Structures are given as structure tokens and as C-alpha cells.
């Protein structure tokens, strides 16, 4: 066991040597498409100003916009309402012959923040239910634990079978989401709401005892997690200035999680959560997600004390370098009780070979609930491998 730990430590040190972090920050204050549309509606709210509003909308969607502003020629008495023209196309500046509405639109995903990319907060876009994108990170990791959970138990399921687990797993996760509906009526007209989407998501996390041939290399745990998520983009700017204390995103979700096992190792629970996302800077995001467990019959509950270990929510802080090649995230949760049971996980991703899809991935976690079967079991786990997505 000592040699196994030493090998894992040596691999981890070598793996860390592949990560190079950039410290410089680059920022450019511009309006997103949704913020620009919202600004046009607020600037020309009257039905008698429809021509001006349409001209404002046209100025946003014109492909010639590449730089910083829409300028006004309203002082020109010969200018007709709603007329637009391009001036000095080589500079990419659109000149609107109407009242001034300063708009600068981001054009590429490289300019978007993590929350805007992840939850599509900046444009409605063309979408189909058959189109899938990455939800949580998809990874394949070699992992090592310092404390195997050989006899998992819960208050309603006493278990005495010793599984004699190996300390190493091949750990992998598949996580996808698809948009079910966007631009939702009633919700889209709420103040400060810049986008509204309904998502369906599915995550499956598995731990495979690949390195234990004596036990026929079993899959020791699978966690299945379908979700339904209502996601709202929030306008967090006041008078053209971003306010860090206003969340950029709100998610209302319903999630089921289970491991698909029979007793005595069956585990499951259902939750409703409200997740808020802040952009503290262009590179640092903060997500706070409190949840409420949907009550179950205490006699049939597989894990009646799960909140004592997994708590009532989680917090995630994420940082990425200006190039987007390196990302660091920290997830934390705590039961907020005097016995202070918690969990923390650090994920480090590094893009290699200029490939935007495949990344080197290191994961370090400590505490309760790495998997659902381990909800009341504390351990430290080190993993490294590759991942797809953010």
C-alpha cells in the first residue's frame, strides 16, 4: 500500500509539472447582445417610438459591428428617422442616423465569460432538442483513495458484507444537457431578465475497480443524476457599469440522484435548488447553490440522515486564465452543524497541444460524499487524467 501511495504521489507531481498558469488579466467592457436589446427597449419604450426602436435593433444585428460604439448623426437635419449607414467600414464602426444609443456587441465565444458560455446568456440562437452540449465536466481519471469504504451502511440498511475494495479506481463521468425551450413567455418580460431557457440534463459518474483482477474488476458504484433546470440571464449593469453584487445568472432546478442498487446498498434522494452565479471579474465566477430535500417516507428512505453529511447546498469558485487554457475550480459544502462534516474538491484543467476539447485534469477531494454510496464516509482522493468541457 505504501508503494501504491508513493506511485500515486510521484504521478501527481509529474502531472502538476504540465500545468502553466498565466496571471495577466485582460478585460474589455462591452454590452452583450441581450443587454443591448434590453437597452433598446428601455431607451424607446413608447409605441410612438417604434421606428427608433427598430433602428436601434438593426444597429445591434448588423454584421459590420466589430468595435466599440454606435455614433449619432442626430444633429444632421437631413437625416430621416430609422436610416442607418456605415461610415469608415475599415474601422468597423456603424453610424446610426438617429438618437445616440451606445452599443458594442461581443462577437465570439472568446469574449464571453464562463457563465455566459455555460448557460448561453447572451443570445437565443438556433437550437433543437436533439442538440446536446457538455453540462458538467466529462472526465476519465486514475484515482487513489486513502480510506476505502468496504462496508457501506445507512441507518435503514445495515450491511456487514466486506467488499475488500482496491484503493485505486478508474473514475469517469458523462454529463450532457440540451435546451428544451427558450425565450419563455411571461418570464422573458420580467425586469432585468435578459434570457430564459429550460434545460434537461443528465450526469452519470462511475467508479471502476479496473486494477483489481481478483474481484473481476467490478464497477463498484454508479451515480445517475437527471435534472430539469430553468435558467435566467440577469442584467447586472446599472447605467452601463457592471455591479459585482448583482448575480449574472439564476438557475431553478429539480434533481434526482440514485445509484440504482438494491438493498442494503441502495441510495437515492430528490432535491430542489436555487443557484445564483456572480461574475466577480471577467475571469472569476462564484456559484452558490442552496437546496431543499424533498421529504420521503422515513421507513423507506435509503439514507434518512444524508443532510447531516452532505449539508444543504454547495459553493463553487472558478478561475480561468485570459487565454482560457488553464482553469481552476474549488467546490465546497458543509452540514452547518456543530459536528462540522463537509467536503471540498479542487479541479485543475490544462489545455494541451492547442486542442480546445481535450484537457489534462487533476482532481483532489477530501470529506464526505464523493459518491452517493459514500455519503457518510470520509476519505481523501487524488485523481488525474483527461477531461472534456469546462
Q: Which of 72, 157, 256, 378 is catalytic?
A: 256
- Sorted by sequence, the CB contacts under 8 Å of residue 191 that are 6+ apart come out as none
- Per-residue pLDDT, averaged over 157-180, amounts to 94
144 as an active site residue: the answer is no
Instruction: Give the pLDDT confidence score for residue 84 in this predicted structure.
Output: 43
Instruction: Give the pLDDT confidence score for residue 20 in this predicted structure.
Output: 35
256 as an active site residue: the answer is yes
Beta 342-351 vs 268-279: how paired, if at all?
unpaired
pLDDT-derived band at 3, boundaries 50, 70, 90: low
* Mean per-residue pLDDT over the chain, rounded: 81
- Burial class of residue 24 (count of CB atoms within 10 Å of its CB; 0-12, 13-18, 19+): exposed
Query: What DSSP string describes 172-229?
Result: EEEEEEEEEEES-TTGGGSTTEEEEEEEEEEEEEEEE-TT-GGGT--EEEEEEEEEEE
Instruction: Give the pLDDT confidence score for residue 65 in this predicted structure.
Output: 38
Q: Distance between terminal CA atoms of the chain?
A: 33
Q: Is 235 helix (H, G, I), strand (E, B) or coil?
A: coil
CA–CA distance, 361 with 383 (Å, rounded to integer):
8
Does the pLDDT value for residue 232 go beyond 70? yes
pLDDT-derived band at 34, boundaries 50, 70, 90: low
Instruction: Give the pLDDT confidence score for residue 7 in this predicted structure.
Output: 53
pLDDT digits (tens, 9 = 90+) for 128-164: 666 889 999 999 999 999 999 999 999 999 998 898 9
Query: What DSSP string describes 314-337?
Result: EEEEEEE-TTSSEEEEEEEEE--S
pLDDT digits (tens, 9 = 90+) for 95-122: 444 444 444 444 345 578 899 989 998 7
Does the pLDDT value for residue 304 go beyond 70? yes
Number of residues assigned to the chain: 390
Instruction: Give the pLDDT confidence score for residue 389 in this predicted structure.
Output: 81
In this structure, what are the phi and psi dihedrals at residue 20, rounded to the nearest 5 degrees? -125, 120
Q: Report DSSP state, residue 79.
A: P
Q: Is 88 helix (H, G, I), strand (E, B) or coil?
A: coil
In this structure, what are the phi and psi dihedrals at residue 174, rounded to the nearest 5 degrees? -120, 125
Instruction: Give the pLDDT confidence score for residue 48 in this predicted structure.
Output: 65
Q: Is 52 helix (H, G, I), strand (E, B) or coil?
A: helix
Asked if CATH classification 3.40.50.450 holds for the domain at 114-388, the reply, yes or no, is: no
Q: According to CATH, where is 2.40.230.10 located in the chain?
A: 114-388
pLDDT digits (tens, 9 = 90+) for 49-68: 777 777 787 777 444 333 34
pTM here is 0.73
CA–CA distance, 228 with 195 (Å, rounded to integer):
17
* Stronger pLDDT, 126 or 257, i.e. the higher one: 257
Instruction: Give the pLDDT confidence score for residue 312 in this predicted structure.
Output: 96
Q: Which of 258, 266, 276, 378 is catalytic?
A: 258
Q: Is 376 helix (H, G, I), strand (E, B) or coil?
A: coil
Instruction: Give the pLDDT confidence score for residue 356 in this predicted structure.
Output: 80
Instruction: Give the pLDDT confidence score for residue 1 in this predicted structure.
Output: 46
Q: Is 118 helix (H, G, I), strand (E, B) or coil?
A: helix
Q: Say what percent of the chain tops pLDDT 70.
A: 75
Does the pLDDT value for residue 89 go beyond 50? no
Instruction: Give the pLDDT confidence score for residue 290 in this predicted structure.
Output: 98
Q: Which element (helix H / strand E) includes 4? A: helix 2-16
- Per-residue pLDDT, averaged over 243-253, amounts to 93
* Stronger pLDDT, 368 or 66, i.e. the higher one: 368
Amino acid at each position: 500500500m505504501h508503494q501504491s501511495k508513493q506511485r500515486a504521489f510521484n504521478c501527481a507531481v509529474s502531472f502538476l509539472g504540465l500545468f502553466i498558469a498565466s496571471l495577466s488579466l485582460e478585460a474589455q467592457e462591452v454590452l452583450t447582445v441581450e443587454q443591448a436589446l434590453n437597452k433598446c427597449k428601455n431607451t424607446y419604450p413608447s409605441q410612438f417610438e417604434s421606428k427608433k426602436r427598430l433602428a436601434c435593433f438593426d444597429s445591434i444585428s448588423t454584421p459590420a459591428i466589430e468595435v466599440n460604439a454606435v455614433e449619432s448623426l442626430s444633429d444632421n437635419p437631413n437625416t430621416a428617422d430609422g436610416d442607418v449607414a456605415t461610415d469608415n467600414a475599415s474601422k468597423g464602426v456603424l453610424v446610426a442616423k438617429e438618437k445616440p444609443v451606445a452599443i458594442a456587441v461581443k462577437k465570439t465565444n472568446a469574449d464571453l465569460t464562463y457563465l455566459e458560455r455555460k448557460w448561453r446568456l447572451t443570445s437565443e440562437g438556433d437550437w433543437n432538442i436533439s442538440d446536446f452540449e457538455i453540462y458538467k465536466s466529462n472526465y476519465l481519471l486514475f484515482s487513489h483513495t486513502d480510506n476505502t469504504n468496504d462496508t457501506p451502511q445507512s441507518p435503514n440498511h445495515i450491511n456487514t458484507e466486506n467488499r475488500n475494495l482496491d484503493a485505486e479506481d478508474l473514475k469517469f463521468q458523462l454529463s450532457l444537457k440540451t435546451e428544451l425551450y427558450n425565450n419563455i413567455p411571461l418570464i422573458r418580460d420580467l425586469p432585468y431578465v435578459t434570457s430564459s431557457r429550460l434545460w434537461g440534463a443528465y450526469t452519470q459518474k462511475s467508479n471502476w475497480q479496473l486494477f483489481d483482477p481478483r474481484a473481476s474488476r467490478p464497477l463498484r458504484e454508479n451515480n445517475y443524476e437527471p435534472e430539469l433546470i430553468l435558467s435566467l440571464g440577469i442584467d447586472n449593469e446599472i447605467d452601463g457599469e457592471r455591479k459585482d453584487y448583482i448575480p449574472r445568472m439564476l438557475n431553478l432546478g429539480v434533481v434526482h440522484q440514485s445509484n440504482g442498487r438494491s438493498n442494503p446498498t441502495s441510495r437515492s434522494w430528490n432535491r430542489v435548488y436555487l443557484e445564483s452565479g456572480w461574475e466577480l471579474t471577467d475571469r472569476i465566477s462564484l456559484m452558490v447553490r442552496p437546496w431543499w430535500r424533498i421529504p420521503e417516507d422515513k421507513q423507506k428512505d435509503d439514507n434518512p440522515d444524508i443532510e447531516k453529511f452532505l449539508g444543504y447546498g454547495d459553493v463553487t469558485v472558478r478561475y480561468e486564465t485570459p487565454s482560457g487554457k488553464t482553469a481552476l475550480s474549488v467546490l465546497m459544502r458543509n452540514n452547518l452543524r456543530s459536528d462540522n462534516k463537509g467536503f471540498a474538491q479542487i479541479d485543475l484543467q490544462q489545455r494541451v497541444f492547442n486542442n480546445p476539447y481535450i484537457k489534462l485534469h487533476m482532481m483532489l477531494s477530501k470529506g464526505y460524499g464523493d459518491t452517493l454510496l459514500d455519503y457518510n464516509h470520509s476519505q481523501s482522493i487524488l485523481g488525474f487524467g483527461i477531461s472534456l468541457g469546462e
